[in-house]
Structure 1
Amino acid sequence: MTARTPEERHDGHRGGDGYGVPDGHGHRPGGAGPPDGPHADGPGPLIGRSVPRKEDPRLLTGRGRFVDDLTEPGVLHAQFVRSTVAHGEVTALDLDAVRRVPGVVAAFDATDLGLGDITARLHRPPEEFTETAMPVLARRRVRYIGEPLAVVVARDPYAAEDGLEAARVAYDEREPVVSEAAALADGAPLVHEAAARNTLVDVAPFATEGIDDVFAAAHRVVRVEARTGRQNALPLETRGALAHWDDRAEQLVLRTCTQVPHQVRTVAAGCLGLDERAVRVVVPDMGGGFGLKCVVGREEIATAAAALRLRRPVKWIEDRKDALTASFLAREQHYDVRAAFAADGRILGLDADIVCDMGAYSCYPFTAGIEPLMAAAELPGVYRVPAYRVRGRAVTTNKAPSAPYRGVSRPQYVMVMERLFERAARELGVDAVELRRRNLITDFPYTGINGITYDPGSYRESLDLCERTLREEGWYERRDAAAAAGRRLGIGYACFNERTGYGSAAFAQRRMDMVPGYDLAEVRMDPGGAVSVTTGTMSHGQSHETTLAQIAADVLGLDLAKVKLHQGDTDRVPYGWGTFASRSVTIGGSAVRLAAERLGEKLRRLAAARWDVPWEETELHRGTVRRRDVRDTEVPAVPYAELAALAHFRAHLLPKDLEPGLTATASFDVFHDGTFSNATHGVVAALDEDTGGITLLRYVCVEDCGVAINPQVVEGQCRGGIAQGIAGALFEQITYDERGEPSATGFLDYKVPTAQEIPDITLFHLETPCASNATGAKGVGEGGTIGAPAAVLNAVNDALRATGTELDTLPVTPEAVHRALHGA
C-alpha cells in the first residue's frame, strides 16, 4: 500500500470511490457514496476541500462568546484562598475577617460546602496503583503551593481579591518532596501516607523472555538517559466557570471551558449530591485546551457549589499566575533506556525505565497513570523491536498535579527513541537516516512486541521525502561549509507515529474506572430542509463546526451553509466523551457520517413511497431525491424541503413504517487498537558560538493523517503543534526551589516563543486512509507537538558533533549549549 501526495490524487479529489479514498487504499463502510451537490464554493465533494471555516466570521470579528464574556443578573465573583506552603497540616483557617471585607458576600471552606472528593481509579492490583482522593477544597492537609483551601465570593472581582488578603491560614509545615529523586529516596517524606515510596503507579507490562541474553550477545548496546521539563499547556483562555441554579428546570447550570462536559457533569453531581439530571454543563466558545481542560478541575466544582449554596450566579475566571502555578501541568519525565543493535544496524531489543513526576494528585478520569502507561505501551513506535522490557512509574511530589498535555508522553518517548538511533548510528559508523530505514515498519498490518497492531502507514515514504527535501535544498552542503568555516549548523530528524482514534477497547487496557471510547451523533432535518448535527466531541479550536459539517453535508449533498453543528451541552447531547487524543474526526466524525447516511436513507424511503418503488432505486442528488432509473423530467426529483415538510406537517400521509420527523442517530466505537497517523520532521539549527543561542533555519514536516477532511485545517493543526513542540524543546519550563515554590508566575519567568522564534514550516501531506472507520481519516491534533522536540534536539546535537558532547535534556538552554561548545 503506497501513500499518495495530494498532487497524485486523481481528478483533484480524494480518490475514485466517491468517499475520498484513493483507489487501492481501503474503503469506508456504509452507503453508496455522497451525491453531487452544491457545496460552499461550487458543486462536487466537500471532503478534501479547504472550504472557509464556518467559525471565522464570528471569532475573527470579536463576536465569539467565551466564559468571561458571559454574565447573569446579579452575578457574583469568586476567587480562591490558596496554600502558600508546598506541604503541611492546616492548623487554622480563619475566614471571619474575609466575610467583613466590603463587597464580600460569602466565604466557604470545604466543611461549609460539604463537598465530596474527586477520585480517579484504575482497576489494578495495589502494587500497581494507589488510589488518592483529591478534595475539591483542601481540608487538613495541603500538598502544593496554590492548592485551593477556600472560595471567596464577592460583588465584583476586586472585592474578591481583597477578601483573599484577609484570609488567615496557619500551617504545621512538613518537608516537601520536590523532585523524582527525592520522592524515591529511602526515608523520603510521604506526600500521601497510602503511597509507599511516593509511587502512585508502578507497572511492568512487557518483559520478553531472554532479553538479558539479547543484550549480552548484541554487537553494540547504546544508552540514553533523558529528562524533560515540567510545562504548562498554556491555552490562550485560562480556565473559568459561571454557575447558577435554574428554578424552573430544577437544574444547576454550569458554563465552563472544558473539553469533557459530560465528565464534569458526573463529578459535579457526585460532589454536590445531585442527580446527574439536575446538572447541566454548557461549553461556550473555548480558547484552547490542549489536554489541560480534558480533566475535571476543582475550582469549577467549587464555583458550582457556591452558586448552589447561595442560589445566585457565581463566576470564576483563573488569572495567569494561578494558571501557571496551580493549574494542571505535565511533561516532567525521566527515561533511562538501552537499545541493543546487531552489526548490520538492526535493533534487537529495548530495555526502559520510565519515571513520571505527576505532582500531588491523580487527575480525573485518567489518573496519574496517564503518562507512564502511554509511554510504556507505545515506546517502540515506528520501529521493529523484537524484544522489549519496560517499567513505568508515576511518582507523587509536592507540585501542582499533572494532566494530559498535547501528545501525552509521545514527545518524550519519541525524543528518546530518536536519540537512541542517532547515538547508535555514530557508534556503528552509519548514516542515522539509513539506520532508521533499516528498522522502520514497512509491512502492514504489523503487530508489535507491545501487542499493538499497526494499520498501514507511510513510515518509509515520509522519511524519504523529508530527507530528499533537505538534500535538494542544499542544507547538507551548507552544513559542511559552515563546519569548515568554524560555524555550527546541524540537521535533525524525528520519525514517529501517533495512535489516534482510541476506542473503548484501547482505553479498557488501562483499566480506568470510566472507559472512554465511543461517541454519539444525531443529524436532524427541520421542516425547511436545513440540518442540525449534535456530537459528543468538543471543539476548542479544531474547527469542528466546519469539518464535521463538511462530513454531514457531503453525505447529504447539501450546501455547507445548510448544516449547523451543536456540541458542548449535556442536555442537548445525550452523551459524549469530548475531545482529546486526536479522536474527534476519527470517532466523532464517523458517528456523524453514519447518522447522516441514516437520515439520507429516510429521505430516500419517503421519496420511494411517493413513487411506489423500492427505496434502493433512489439516490440523493444536490439537495433532492431522484429515481436512479429516470434521469429526465419525466419523474422530477423531490427537494429535501418538500420531503421534510411531509415528514413534519402531514404525518398522516407517511408510510406505516416511517415515524414523523426526520432524525437519525448513530454511535461509533473502535474495537481494536485504533489507527496510526505518522510523520517525519526535519530541522536545520544554527548555534551561536558566543551566546549558545539556537536559531531554527528550516523546518520540514511530512505528515500522513489519512483522508484530510479539510487540508487547511490539517495544516493549522500541524503548524500549531510544531510551535508547541519547539516551545517545549527550547523554551518552556517550570522549576521549583527546595521549598516547592514554582519559578514561573508570569510570562517574565515562563519563556514562551513568539513568531520570531518559530521558523517557516513547509508541510507535505501523504494519504494512507484508515480502512476501519467511516471517514478514512486518522487523527492529526497532536502530531506536530510529538515530532518537534526530537527533531530540534537532534539538530542541536548534530551541530555539536565536533565537540564530542551530546545533550539529552529538554528544554535545551543557551547555557547548556554554551557549556558544550566551550568544553565546560
Structure 2
Amino acid sequence: MRRIEDGGREDGAYEDGGRLIGRSVPRREDPRLLTGRGRFVDDITLPGTLHAQFVRSTVAHGEVTAIDLDGVRAVPGVVAAYTADDLGLGDITAQLARPVEEFVPTAMPVLARDRVRYVGEPVAIVVARDAYAAEDGVEAARVGYAVHPPVTDEAAALADGAPLLHAEAARNTLVDVRLFATEGIDEVFAAADRVVRVEARTGRQNALPLETRGVLAHWDDREEQLVLHTCSQVPHQVRTVASRCLGLVERAVRVVVPDMGGGFGLKCVVGREELAAAAAALRLRRPVKWIEDRKDALSASFLAREQHYDVRAAFDAAGRILALDADVVCDMGAYSCYPFTAGIEPLMAAAEMPGVYKVPAYRVRGRAVATNKAPTAPYRGVSRPQYVMVVERLFERAARELDLDPVEIRRRNLITDFPYTGVNGITYDPGSYRESLDLCERTLRAEGWYERQRAARAAGRHLGIGYSCFSERTGYGSAAFAQRKMAVVPGFDLSEVRMDPSGAVTVTTGTMSHGQSHETTMAQIVAERLGLELDRVRLHQGDTDRVAYGWGTFASRSIAVGGSAVRLAAGRLGEKLRAIAAARWEVPVEETVLGRGEVVRRGAPGTALDYRELAEVAYLRVDLLPKDIEPGLTATAAFDVFNDGTFSNATHGVVVELHADTGRVEILRYVCVEDCGVAINPQVVEGQCRGGIAQGIAGALFEQVTYDAQGEPSATSFMDYRVPTAHEIPDVAIHHLQTPCAFTETGAKGAGEGGTIGAPAAVLNAVNDALRPTGVELDDIPITPETVHRALHRRHYQESAR
C-alpha cells in the first residue's frame, strides 16, 4: 500500500519510461461535451420521425375495465395509438431461479393489460407527428378502472389480509432469505457485555440522471434490422429483451447508445417505454422517438433506496464486536426489474453487511416486498449506503454506551490481516482499512476541527464530527452473480483491439460509459500496453453490432473487468506485432520487445520496425507474412473475476454545524481517504468520489419520494423533490491510498460507488455528534430541517405538547 501525493502531470506527455496508467491526463470526452458537440438520443433525428408519449395509470391499484383510444386517434397530428394487445407485446421477464420458497418469479408487461399497480404505469402508447400532438393525444384517452385498496408501505404489504399485487406472491413478498445463521448466536448475545440496537429507515429516491430515459427506434430495410438508439447502461440486455418481446432473432435488433447524460443504475435495467416505442416503429415502419419528461422521470420511472433495518450488535467490555443480527426489508415497488430482479437490494445487504469489520457471528433475514409504487432499479451503491449507515450507527452507539472514543472502537474491529474470509463466506483482498481511518482522523485533527468543536460548544453552537468506514465490493464476476441464483448471470467482459494499416488502434469494450471517462481511461490502458500516444487509440462502445457482447456498466465493474479485458486484448495484439517483426528479421520472437510505437530487436541497438511498417505488412504486403501468421492485426480477449470480487475501501470524515434557528445542516468540512487499487487516472477517480459524495449527501439530507394514502407520489417536480445545489455541497478533500489488486490485469479496483456509500453514514454520525448535548439521536434519513429543529428545541416542543 502506498499513498498518492498528487494526481500527476496534466500535459498528457509520457513519463517514467512511457507510463500512462496513474496519470491525470485530460479527459478526451471534454472538448466534445463542453462545446455542445455531444450527441445524445434527443439530438438524433431521422426523416419522418414520429413522437411517442404514454397514457399512464391515474390509480395506484386496480383492474383495467376499459381503454378507449378512439378520441386519441381523432386528435390532429396523432398517427396511431396502441394498447398491449394491439402491439402483441410480451412481458419483460424478471425472475430468479430456485429455490422457489425464497424467490417469487414475476413478469412486468411492457404495457399494462388487465391490471395497474402504480400511478404512472404505462397503459397505452400514442404516436404523433410532433411531441405536442402526442401529449394532446394522451389527454384524450379514456381508461376505466375498478379501484383496489393500494398497498403504500412495507407494513401494509406484510399485514395479514393485505391486498396482493401479484397472486403468486404471498404477503406481497418477492424475496425472503435467511442467511449466515451462526450456530450459538443467541447465546453470544445473552452473554455479551453490551447489546446495542439500531432501527433505521431510508427514504425512497430517484437516481436523477441529467438526461432522462429515451429512445429513437426505426426499421432498417437494407440490414433488415430494428435499430434502437437509446441511453442504456446495458445495450446487449436491451437487445435480448427487445428481440424476445417483439418475436425477432437477436441479429434483427441493433442497439446503439450515443453519448449518455448519466445513469447511476437507473439505466442498467430494461425499461418498458423503450420497448413499446420500438414495437410501434416496427409496426409503422417509421422512426418513433420517445423522450421521458421530467415529471414522468420523477414519479413513474425506476426508483430506489426505501429500506427498513432492525439490527442488533453484541460487544464485549473492550468494545470488540461479537455478533450481528439483522432484519432487512426493502420496498421494491410494483415489479421485479430485469435482469437484476427484486433480489438485488436484500441480497446485497444480507451478503455484505459485515463489511470492513471482523464480525465473528452473523445472522440476517432479507426481504423484498411489493407495493403500489414505481418499481425499484439498482441505484449507485445498491443497499451499501443503507447498511453501512446502520453498522456505523451501531459502532457509534456502542462507543457511547461503553465510554469509548468512536474512532478507537472502529480501530479495534477493523480487518487488518489479508486475505480475510468473513463470517459471510466472502474473502476480502488486501486493503487499507486501518490506514484510511488513521489518515482521515489525522487530517481533521491537524486542521483543528476538534478544537473548533470545543470552542463552538462553549459558545452554544452545535458542531459535530462524524466518520464512516466501508468497503466497496467491485468487479463482481460470474461466480459472485451465480450465487444470487439469477436467471441470467452477468460477470465477464469482451474486448477487441484492432490496428489499421496506418498504425492507429480501435478498441471495443462491452462496458458502457455514462460519465465515467472510458474514452480516456481505456485509451490509457491500451496506449501504455502498446507504447502508443493517446491520440492513436480510439474506443468504441455501446453498439451491439460493433461490440461482440458485453454486460455493460454497473457495480463499478468497468475498469476492474472491462479494463482487464482491454489490456489482455492489447497484449495479444502486441504479441502479433512482435511475431511479424520477428519473421521480418528471421529471429525468435523472444528477441523482440515492444517499444514506443515500434517493435525493437533485443541486443541490436537501433534496429526497430515501427507499427505502421508492420501494419502495412499485415494488410498490404501479406506475401511477406509466413504461413503461420494470419493477415490483419486484430486481437480479442475475455476477462472474468472468479474469486469473490475486489474490494475498494475508504473512510469519510465530516464536520457539520446545526443551525438552531432553521434546523439547517451545514457541512463545514468533508474529507475522503479512498483506496481503489491502482488509479488509472487519479483525476477521474476524484470526479467519481465527488459526484458520489454529492449523491450521498442528497440522500442523507434532501431527497425523498413519499406517497399519500391513495398511492399518489408526492414529488413530481423539483418544487417538491429537494435536490441539493452547488451551495449545499462542500468542497471535498480527497486523499488517495493505493493497494494494488491481485485479481485484475491493471491492479485497479472499482471506484464508481464509494462516495455514495460512505456519505450518509458520515453525515448522520456528524449530525448525532452535534446533537449529543441534547440527548437526541437520529437514525433515519433524510434528516429534515424540521427534525433537527425539533431535536435542538426538544424542551420547547415538549412544553408545547403539554
For the residues of structure 1 that align with 2:128 and 2:552, how far apart are their CA atoms? Answer: 32
Is the Cα contact below 8 Å between 1:39 and 1:560 reproduced in 2? no
SS in 2 for 1:581: coil
Indicate if the aligned counterparts of 2:319 and 2:412 stay in contact, CA closer than 8 A.
yes
Give the deviation of 1:594 after TM superposition. Answer: 0.3
How many Å apart are 1:530 and its aligned residue?
0.1
| Structure 2 length-normalised TM | 0.98
Matches of residues 266-415 of structure 1 in structure 2 within 5 Å? 266-415=240-389
Residue 43 of structure 1 and its aligned partner are, at CA, apart by 6.6
Match of residue 143, structure 1, among 117, 124, 128: 117
User: What displacement does 1:631 show?
Assistant: 1.7
- Aligned equivalents of 1:657 and 1:804: distance in 2? 78
Matches within 5 A, 1:426-575: 426-575=400-549
What is the DSSP-based 3-state SS (H/G/I as helix, E as strand, rest coil) of the residue aligned with 1:162? helix
Q: Distance in 2 between matches of 1:685 and 1:186?
A: 43
> What is the CA-CA distance between 1:629 and the residue it aligns to?
1.1
Partner residue of 2:671 out of 690, 694, 700: 700
CA deviation profile, 1:617-658 (whole Å, cap 9, x unmatched): 1011111111111123xxx31110010011001112211111
- CA distance in 1 between counterparts of 2:676 and 2:448 reads 28
Indicate if the aligned counterparts of 1:40 and 1:561 stay in contact, CA closer than 8 A.
Answer: no
1:29-178 maps to which residues of 2 (within 5 A)? 39=13, 44-178=18-152
Please list the CA deviations of residues 746-781 of structure 1 after superposition, one character each: whole Å capped at 9, or x if unmatched. Answer: 101000000000011100000001011101000000
State how far apart, in whole Å, the 2-side matches of 1:42 and 1:187 are: 69
Deviation at 1:121, TM superposition (A): 1.4
Structure 2 match to 1:29: none
| CA–CA distance in structure 1, aligned partners of residues 785 and 30 of structure 2 | 39
- For 1:672, the aligned partner's letter is N
Q: CA separation in 2, counterparts of 1:331 and 1:568?
A: 28
* 8 Å contact from structure 2 (residues 78, 127) kept in 1: yes
Please tell me whether the aligned partners of residues 176 and 740 of structure 1 are also in contact (alpha carbons under 8 angstroms): yes
Unmatched tracts of structure 1, length 5 or more: 14-37
Q: CA deviation at 1:124?
A: 2.4
Note if contact 1:520-1:535 (Cα within 8 Å) is conserved in structure 2. Answer: yes
Residue 371 of structure 2 aligns to a residue whose secondary structure is coil
Displaced runs of 4 or more, over 2 A: 38-44
Write the letter of the residue equivalent to 1:472: A
1:641 to 606, 612, 629: 612
Q: Output the amino acid matched with 1:600.
A: G
Deviation per residue, 1:25-63 (Å, 9 max, x gap): xxxxxxxxxxxxx95699721101111111111101100
In structure 1, the residue matched to 2:800 is none
User: What is the alpha-carbon distance in structure 2 between the residues aligned to residue 124 and residue 711 of structure 1?
Assistant: 43
Match of 1:611 in 2: 585
Question: Could you tell me how far apart the structure 1 residues matched to 2:16 and 2:672 are?
Answer: 31
1:658 aligns with 2:616: no
Residue 126 of structure 1 deviates from its aligned partner by: 2.1
Q: 8 Å contact 2:164–2:172 — kept in the other structure?
A: yes
The aligned residue for residue 762 of structure 1 is 733
In structure 2, stretches of 5+ residues that fail to align are 798-802
Letter of the 1:135 partner, please give it. Answer: P
| Residue 753 (1) aligns with residue 724 (2) | yes
Report how far residue 146 of structure 1 moved: 0.1
TM-score by length of 1: 0.95
Which residue of structure 2 lines up, in the alignment, with residue 717 of structure 1? 688
Amino acid at match of 1:174: H
SS in 1 for 2:412: helix
Q: What is the identity, as a one-letter code, of the residue corresponding to 1:189?
A: P
Equivalent AA in structure 1 for residue 756 of structure 2: T
**Greater shift after overlay, 465-474 or 41-50?**
41-50
Displacement of 1:90 in angstroms is: 0.6
> Which residue in the other structure is 1:18 paired with?
none
For 2:664, give the aligned amino acid.
G
Calculate the aligned-residue CA RMSD, in Å. Answer: 1.2
Deviations 1:58-111 (A, max 9, x none): 101100000000011000000000000000001110001100100000000000
The residue type equivalent to 1:7 in the other structure is E
CA distance in 2, matches of 1:207, 1:298: 39
**Which of 779, 791, 795 pairs up with 1:820?**
791
1:4 and 2:2 matched: yes
Report if the CA contact (8 A) 1:352-1:390 is conserved: yes
2:707 counterpart letter in structure 1:
Y
* 2:656 corresponds to which of 680, 685, 692: 685
CA offsets 1:662-712 (integer angstroms, 9 cap, x no match): 000000001110010000000000001111111000000000000000010
Q: CA deviation at 1:143?
A: 0.1
Q: Is the 8 A contact 1:347 1:385 kept in 2?
A: yes
Classify the secondary structure of the residue corresponding to 2:243: helix
- AA aligned opposite 1:805: V
Corresponding residue number in structure 2 for 1:32 = none
SS in 1 for 2:714: coil
* Whole-angstrom CA distance in 1 between matches of 2:14 and 2:601: 25
User: Partners in 2 of 1:402 and 1:819 — Cα distance?
Assistant: 32
Name the % identity.
80
How much has 1:218 moved relative to structure 2? 0.2
Partner of 2:566: 592
Query: Aligned residue for 1:737?
Result: 708
Tell me the SS of whatever aligns to 2:303.
coil
Is the contact made by 1:39 and 1:558 (CA closer than 8 Å) also made in structure 2?
Answer: no
* Cα shift at 1:480: 1.0
CA distance in 1, matches of 2:616, 2:695: 49
Q: Deviations over 1:133-182 (max 9, x none)?
A: 10000001000000000000000000000000100011000000000011
In structure 1, distance between residues paired with 2:584 and 2:86: 65
Give the AA of the match of 2:582. Answer: A
Q: Does 1:778 align with 2:749?
A: yes
Contact 1:76–1:154 (CA under 8 A) maintained in structure 2: yes
Query: What is the aligned residue count?
Result: 794
Q: Aligned with 1:439: secondary structure?
A: coil
Residue 125 of structure 1, CA deviation: 1.9
Counterpart amino acid of 1:64?
Answer: G
User: AA paired with 2:186?
Assistant: D
8 Å CA contact 2:702, 2:722 repeated in 1? yes
> Displacement of 1:484 after TM fit?
1.1
SS in 2 for 1:374: helix
Per-residue CA shift, 1:360-419, capped at 9, x if unaligned?
000000000010000000000000000000000000000000000000000000000000
SS at match of 1:90: strand
Amino acid paired to 2:470: F
* 1:248 aligned onto 2:211: no
Q: Could you tell me whether the CA contact under 8 Å between 1:41 and 1:51 is conserved in 2? A: no
Greater mean alpha carbon deviation, residues 755-764 or residues 121-130? 121-130
Separation in 2, partners of 1:657, 1:224: 67
Find the aligned partners of 2:594 and 2:484 in 1 and give their Cα distance: 43
CA contact (8 A) 1:228 1:333 kept: yes
Cα-to-partner distance string for 1:1-37 (whole Å, 9 max, x where unaligned)? xx2111399xx79xxxxxxxxxxxxxxxxxxxxxxxx
Q: Secondary structure at the match of 1:285?
A: coil
SS in 2 for 1:151: strand
SS at match of 2:341: coil
Distance in 1 (alpha carbons) for counterparts of 2:166 and 2:192? 43
